[in-house]
Amino acid sequence: MTPDGPTIVEAGRRLREGKTTAVALLESVLDVAQLTEAIVHAYLTIDREGAFASAAFADEELANGRDRGPLHGVPVALKDNMCTRGVETTAASQILGGYLPPYDATVVTRLRQAGAVIVGKTNLDEFAMGSSTENSAYGPTFNPWDVSRVPGGSSGGSAAAVAIGSALGALGSDTGGSIRQPAALTGLVGLKPTYGTVSRYGLIAFASSLDQIGPLTRTVEDAAVLLEAVWGHDPLDATSYDGAYPDPRAEMGRGVDGIRVGVVRELSGEGYEPEVETATANMVDRLAGEGAEVVEVSLPSFEIALSAYYLIAPAEASANLARFDGIRFGLRIPGPTTEALMSATRAEGFGPEVTRRILLGTYGLSAGYYEAFYGQAQKVRAAIRADLARVYTDVDVLVSPTSPTVAFEAGARVADPLAMYLSDICTIPSNLAGDPAVSVPIALDGRGLPIGFQVMAPALGETTLFRVAAEVERLAGFTARPVIDLVAS
């Protein structure tokens, strides 16, 4: 099958024209899920009951003239690391099997206020640690474009659901590329907003200084719709930005004439697939053809960004995941003492990648190693920010591939953690800087697999970011959809 569902914007138009209803939209995405879940496994939990209740309520409100805006009545999915009150939330971990949070994440509250219909909770790499969605305790998600391949990660379930049409849009979280890389590998738009603009309250933390929630959608405009629904100051998150927010739509459609585009020299070369490099270069040429001033820029610190990331993120994770101890919630493996219970529960409850990163983070912070590892990584982070500040005096945006490769074969990198970590090489700098970045699909490679193009902007540069992304989208004219062989199941 080939999905033929509408985009968020189209669905909104049809709803208001009376051509469909929220319930009908929900039924159609559930039908897709019914057909594809056994093959793709995008969802961990589908909340049929809750979703039908909100869809019916949305129809009632719309019928009564209460219009909550462009998401009203639209079925969307949530990565399963965002807490939903009374709906199982596992972060794809055994340690949270069956966990029912007693509260909603702020993004969930905001989606409800916007009238969105939450279909369910999507699969991810356990605790968002991974780049392939193979590290889920509940089984991997597969790429709808080629089900022998990974959808990327860690927001692979959200990506697969939107790509296949079992949700019209989804929220993911991006710590080192976990929205943008799966978006690239599944032919979607994936946005990591400026750090601090989307509340993290209720997002099960991986690395607090890097985590940011953002949308995965089919179009740039859909991404703006979802972003506008969820971002904004939240007093429950002390890192939440309380100043003026940029307007993502203010310059969409104005083209790129006069926009200064920097091509990052360090994000190319060895390890990059030729077709990815060619597609990227073609898009850069076309942007130049539209009047963009293209320059090559160098950010030497990007060379060691990945190393810094794989010290900082695990360090924060080692503390963030300490609360999973078998005492107050979640899995418990009994033991004669508290320590024995905690150690047994954690060893049993965490999968290998999570265990590996906890060990890595614990080591990097431990006595005698802090300065050489974690402390030094923070210096690299400062250097990256300084490099970016320098470059952004000359250019408005930076561009690169989103991922050095297209979707890789399932299982190909599981045994080699370092090879897996290299999947994030293009996306990590924006997380370390806290800057916004977006992946836009631009082409299919020779095997019919999507290639993503990354646009990066300085903090709070979403207006320019969306302007350039919309132009990339227009120039690419990417309309392909995956084809799923349902018989293969």
User: Which are the catalytic amino acids?
Assistant: 79, 154, 178
Residues facing residue 192 across a β-bridge = 437
63, 366, 409, 411: residue in contact with other proteins (rule CB under 8 A): 366
Residue 163 CA, chain-centre distance (Å), reads 13
Residues numbered 277 to 336 that lie near other proteins (CB under 8 A) are 300-301, 303-304, 306-308, 310-311, 315-316, 318-319, 322-332, 334-336
Establish if 372 lies at the interface with other proteins (CB under 8 A).
Answer: yes
Residues sharing a CB contact under 8 Å with residue 84, sequence separation 6 or more, in sequence order:
47, 78, 101, 104, 105, 108, 118, 121
Establish if 175 lies at the interface with other proteins (CB under 8 A).
Answer: no
77, 205, 227, 297: residue in contact with other proteins (rule CB under 8 A): 205
Other Cβ atoms closer than 10 A to 38: 10
Smallest distance from other proteins to CB 111, Å: 15
Check: CB of residue 182 under 8 Å from CB of residue 155. yes
Binding-site string for other proteins from residue 221 to residue 250, where x marks contact by CB under 8 A and - marks none:
--------------xxxxx-xxx-------
41, 381, 413, 467: residue in contact with other proteins (rule CB under 8 A): 381
> Which of the stretches 145-153, 252-260, 354-362, 402-410 binds other proteins when contact is defined by CB under 8 A?
354-362
Compute the half-sphere exposure of residue 353: CA atoms within 13 Å on the CB side of its CA: 28
Residues sharing a CB contact under 8 Å with residue 75, sequence separation 6 or more, in sequence order:
22, 25, 26, 29, 51, 55, 116, 117, 118, 119, 167, 168
Q: SS in 3 state form for 69-136?
A: CCCCCCEEEEECCECECCECCCCCCHHHCCCCCCCCCHHHHHHHHCCCEEEEEECCCHHHCCCCCCCC
Beta strands in 259-342 (DSSP E): 260-264, 293-297
Question: Of 52 and 103, which CB lies nearer to other proteins in the complex structure?
Answer: 103
Residue keyed to tokens 């003492």: 337
Smallest distance from other proteins to CB 234, Å: 9
Residues numbered 4 to 63 that lie near other proteins (CB under 8 A) are none
> Which of the stretches 58-66, 114-122, 132-140, 372-380 binds other proteins when contact is defined by CB under 8 A?
372-380
Check: CB of residue 357 under 8 Å from CB of residue 318. yes
Q: How far apart are CA 211 and CA 195, in angstroms?
A: 8
250, 338, 411, 483: residue in contact with other proteins (rule CB under 8 A): 338
43, 138, 195, 466: residue in contact with other proteins (rule CB under 8 A): 195
Question: Of 12 and 330, which CB lies nearer to other proteins in the complex structure?
Answer: 330
> Strand pairing of 437-444 and 260-264?
unpaired
Binding-site string for other proteins from residue 100 to residue 119, where x marks contact by CB under 8 A and - marks none:
xxxx-x--------------
Smallest distance from other proteins to CB 45, Å: 15
> Which of the stretches 18-26, 190-198, 287-295, 465-473 binds other proteins when contact is defined by CB under 8 A?
190-198
Check: CB of residue 149 under 8 Å from CB of residue 155. no
92, 114, 129, 203: residue in contact with other proteins (rule CB under 8 A): 203
> How many residues lie near other proteins (CB under 8 A)?
102
| Assigned token pair, 275 | 């077709």
Question: Of 294 and 319, which CB lies nearer to other proteins in the complex structure?
Answer: 319
Smallest distance from other proteins to CB 377, Å: 5
356, 412, 463, 474: residue in contact with other proteins (rule CB under 8 A): 356
Residues numbered 433 to 462 that lie near other proteins (CB under 8 A) are 433-435, 459-460
> Which of the stretches 18-26, 206-214, 254-262, 399-407 binds other proteins when contact is defined by CB under 8 A?
206-214
Question: Of 386 and 483, which CB lies nearer to other proteins in the complex structure?
Answer: 386
| Assigned token pair, 399 | 């561009």
250, 295, 347, 389: residue in contact with other proteins (rule CB under 8 A): 347
Q: Label residue 96 exposed, middle or buried (CB < 10 Å: 0-12, 13-18, 19+).
A: buried
Question: Of 282 and 378, which CB lies nearer to other proteins in the complex structure?
Answer: 378
82, 167, 438, 443: residue in contact with other proteins (rule CB under 8 A): 82
Residue keyed to tokens 């290299």: 422
Smallest distance from other proteins to CB 34, Å: 30
Check: CB of residue 216 under 8 Å from CB of residue 169. yes
Give the single-character DSSP code of 373.
Answer: I
Smallest distance from other proteins to CB 422, Å: 9
Q: How far apart are CA 355 and CA 103, in angstroms?
A: 27
Smallest distance from other proteins to CB 316, Å: 6
374, 408, 453, 478: residue in contact with other proteins (rule CB under 8 A): 374
Tell me the CA distances in angstroms from 191 to 166, 320, 401, 413, 482, one per residue in order: 20, 24, 14, 25, 21
Establish if 78 lies at the interface with other proteins (CB under 8 A).
Answer: no
Question: Of 282 and 376, which CB lies nearer to other proteins in the complex structure?
Answer: 376
Check: CB of residue 168 under 8 Å from CB of residue 118. no
Residues sharing a CB contact under 8 Å with residue 471, sequence separation 6 or more, in sequence order:
255, 256, 287, 290
Of 209, 142, 221, the C-alpha closest to 182 is: 142
Residues numbered 408 to 437 that lie near other proteins (CB under 8 A) are 417-418, 421, 433-435
Smallest distance from other proteins to CB 168, Å: 25
